Amino acid sequence: MQLLDRVRQTIREHDLARADTRVVVALSGGSDSVALAHLLLELDAGKQLQVAGLAHFNHQLRANADRDEQFCGRVAESIRRPLLVDRADVGAIARRDRRSIESAAREARPQFLERARLHFAADVVALGHTLDDQAETFLLRLLRGAGARGLASMHPRRAALVRPLLDCRRTDLRTYLMERGIAFVHDESNDDVGVPRNRVRAELLPFLKERINPSVVDVLAHEASLAREEWRWMEAQSAAVEEQLCRHEANVCRIDAAALNILPIALARLVLRRAMTEKAGGRSISFAHVEEALRFSRAGGPPVDLPGQRLQRNGPDVVLTGRPAGVVGRSTEQLTSPSNFFRYPLSIPGEVRIDETGGLLSAEVAPSAPAFGAAAEMLPEDLAGGAARMHVAIVQFDRVPGPIAVRNRRPGDRFRPLGLGGGKKLQDFFVDRKVAREGRDRVPLVVDESDRIIWVAGHGIDERFRVMDPAQAVVVLRLRQV
């Protein structure tokens, strides 16, 4: 099958794009992404999709990063498509936040790609991952002990991200480029075999191909496809069973222990993971945590503290309560009981009444910060001061990826106040701001779909959501008493 036909088949099979789908191509300058741009342009010419533009993110991690950025500019000129470029010192961000470069990059690049999608008014962003990338990912996750979810590896579509080359070999893409005299750049960081993926690519896969199976890449990629379909089925089954076994009441989840314990163990684990993840407040739930909960459901015992929640037995039920026990912050202050917690979904645009505080919190979209009018001068540095005292906050629209909610504080809450250069416990923030102890549980917090704090209403926004470009769309949050 010709390369273009293979791409067309992948797009059709997984419904990645249609004739009216506007696509942004993520362009690194490497062979895979350059081939992706040209292949999609051929499909554009055939009116099978629309290439709206290209997007390049400069991580500033390599000596040749600026060279690659300039090369992508030339690619855009040659194919007559607009290019959106952004850059961030990912290394500095990783050092500031005390995390790995890989983790910082995983957060920065998807955020940029979503900004690019909105910038071009596009439907999806196309990534250049190949069949070889899929095989490498499967091997890496297998060696790390991943289950079915991890072995599913990369999905053809994940929300607005699509992978049209997932059934294409890297060598075929390079042949396609060379036959047409199309240039690309080489990322020298791929030569560092100290990086696990590079070692799998340069050493392990060639060994397996030579000594075990010449078709090992295809076999591993097919295994990933099988794992992906199995995982989808298991997810659907666990969702249906969870609906039957779990009773959600405010911040509490009650699970029928007897019914849970007669399930096949794989299904019981998934049901527990779903329930625990919902109560974890964005914290990670590991295999060990799920195993501890499964053991508890069978043998009982004293209450167990797990990420973001407490596990205990109440009659025939295993009960998950969305708060850990213990002390928070620098003092011995205890938070209110779970019965006093509140959480309300908030639409954009929309408003919600907070019965516990007598407040009304609203969210609206403005095409840009200046369009908001009088509050335009409060960007971005004044948002922790003047805007907060006015009970108004302005955050960049494309940094709020999904549904938001309004709640009060939970044990372990952290956020990144503007200008601090790092994270801070919310409890410590309240102490520093001299917020009265008896009023801290009444301060509304606007949070995103991952339960990250966007705005401590009346006090300050999180650095991650600040307005970077006042000309782009913003969300205006406003708190008032009623």
Q: What is the pLDDT of residue 382?
A: 38
Indicate if 16 and 116 belong to the same structural domain.
yes
Crossing angle between the packed helical segments 170-179 and 3-13, to the nearest 10 degrees:
130
- pLDDT tens readout for residues 258-297: 999 999 999 999 999 889 888 887 677 878 888 989 998 9
Same domain, 191 and 68: yes
Give the number of C-alpha atoms closer than 13 A to the C-alpha of residue 361, restricted to the C-beta side.
28
CATH number of the domain to which 23 belongs: 3.40.50.620
Residue 381: pLDDT band (50, 70, 90) is very low
pLDDT at 93 exceeding the cut of 90: no
In terms of Cβ atoms closer than 10 Å to its own Cβ (0-12, 13-18, 19+), residue 461 is buried
Phi/psi of residue 470, nearest 5 degrees: -60, -15
Domain membership of residue 284 (yes or no) is yes
The answer for residues whose C-beta is within 8 angstroms of residue 23's C-beta and 6 or more apart is 17, 40, 49, 50, 51, 52, 122, 123, 124, 125, 126, 162
Tokens for 153?
Answer: 């590896």
Among candidate residues 81, 154, 86, the one with its CA nearest the CA of residue 398: 86
Is residue 397 very low, low, confident or very high in pLDDT (cuts 50, 70, 90)? confident
When mean pLDDT is compared across 230-244, 338-352, 407-421, 424-438, the lowest value belongs to: 338-352
65 within some domain: yes
In the chain, the percentage of residues whose pLDDT exceeds 70 is 89
- In this structure, is the dihedral angle defined by the CA atoms of residues 89, 95, 96 and 98, taken in order, positive or negative? positive
Q: What is the pLDDT of residues 443-473, one digit of tens each?
A: 999 998 778 899 999 888 998 888 887 777 8
Please report whether residue 238 resides in a domain: no
Residue 317 has pLDDT above 50, yes or no: yes
Hey, how many other C-beta atoms are within 10 angstroms of the C-beta on 381?
11
Pairing of β 161-162 and β 124-126: parallel
Which residues have a Cβ under 8 Å from the Cβ of 413 and sit 6 or more positions away? 425, 426, 427, 445, 453
User: Are residues 300 and 344 both part of a single domain?
Assistant: no
What stretches of 82-219 adopt beta strand conformation (E)? 83-87, 124-126, 157-158, 161-162
Is 319:257 a contact under the CB 8 Å cutoff? no
Question: H or E stretch including 304?
Answer: strand 304-306
Could you tell me if 141 and 272 lie in one domain? no
Number of structural domains the chain divides into = 3
Give CA–CA dist 321/281, Å, rounded.
11
Write down the pLDDT at residue 412.
75
Q: Which of 321, 347, 374 is the last residue of a domain?
A: 321
Which of 62-76, 172-186, 288-302 ranks highest by mean pLDDT?
172-186
